Amino acid sequence: MTDLALAAYIGSAGFVVAGILGSFYQLLTGEPLKFAISVETWLKGVFSCLLCVFAGPFIIMRNAIRGRKIEQRPIGWLVASSTIAGMWSICSGVFVLQIAFMILL
């Protein structure tokens, strides 16, 4: 049971970081974040790639909820998207918490 609670905590941390990045991007640019890599310069390319990697769960869930509401996609689509976003959140949450512990300790 502790493994499941730990996975939920790590996944929550990953999804919070994804939500913060997605919301901050929208605050700065005025448009929602999407899976698009800018290749104008190599710096923009690296930055947009990293942004997509860490904000991916937020983008997936936003698109899945909009697809369910607006396009009337089936509930299975939402469940599959939630599963993918959850696993992705756990992966990015492990990385984010590892960095946080390295900084704090």
Interatomic CA distance for residues 38 and 51, integer angstroms: 11
Query: pTM for the full model?
Result: 0.87
Interatomic CA distance for residues 68 and 48, integer angstroms: 27
Helix (H/G/I), strand (E/B), else coil: 100: helix
**pLDDT tens series, the chain, 105 aa:** 889 999 999 999 999 999 999 999 999 989 998 888 878 888 888 988 999 999 999 999 999 999 999 999 999 999 999 999 999 999 999 999 999 999 998
